[in-house]
Structure 1
Amino acid sequence: MILARHSSRCLFSTPRVCCSIHSDAKLKDPFSLAQKDLQDLYEDIKKQLLVSKAELKALCDYYFDGKGKAFRPMIVILMARACNVHSNKEGVLLPAQRSIAMISEMIHTASLVHDDVIDDSDTRRGKNTINKLWGEKKAILVFSPSISNNSLS
């Protein structure tokens, strides 16, 4: 195949790949951008967990102690604010969007508890797992909403 030349450049040349971003904008830490909205996340999650048994409350309080990274809620909050800039021009976080951020953390935490049971893990986030402290049955049932209040004992 003969390549046509124009001004001593090939018309079918390979594209140049840019390896760095040239911008005057400073990169911002995503956690600092969402810090205000994440501030009371774990306390608000605990308020939403309507538990009738003291032991069930202790299990929930143990896992929602505020020492998680809250990576998923941060993503939800930042995406919600970015989308809201286009709809309400202020980027204000709506209550329903914050609820989704809380729910994402609750689902993630439940998956960690179940992983700990499956892996028979003794520690998570530098402390004992629920299954290590309270046993496998309670660890599994604590995040099963339809059966936890009736089957914990």
Structure 2
Amino acid sequence: NAAIKLAGAYSHFGKGDEARSWYDKGIAMGADDHIINEVQLPDETRLISGVINGKLRVNGVVPAGARVGLFVWKENDPEEIEPWIMGSRLAAITDLGGEGTFSFKNLGRHSYRLAVKTDRTSIPYDIAVEQISLKNAPGIISLDLANPAVDLGVIEVSVD
């Protein structure tokens, strides 16, 4: 299993030959299938310049001090972002631009989810989740060589 994890590390840093070598060693040593399936070896061409852009509004205005987090999402992850995922899968975080814009650049081939952090006045922390509605929520965002850039448009959050 350690050889497969090394293959994943080498793959992450674009070292395809080393990744393949450790991957093959792990297979030969009988690595567990669930560990093997977590590793993506680089294709001949690797996506390293993926982009996700969008805008955020809360009740029609740009929320002051808001931040947007980008998290790697895996196929078996729960529908909602769990706290343990937030800690272990954070890919990037950014502040909103003046017009509520956000942009994540230099992304790899993955599926992603967004999370938004605002102050208490924009989205009160003590209200029921049913009082919050979303328009144009992106759900799972996938980037790959065929789809390296995604413009999410305006994500609108309404708080009752």
TM-score by length of 2: 0.26
Higher relative contact order (CA 8 A, sep 6+): 2
TM-score by length of 1: 0.27
Greater gyration radius = 1
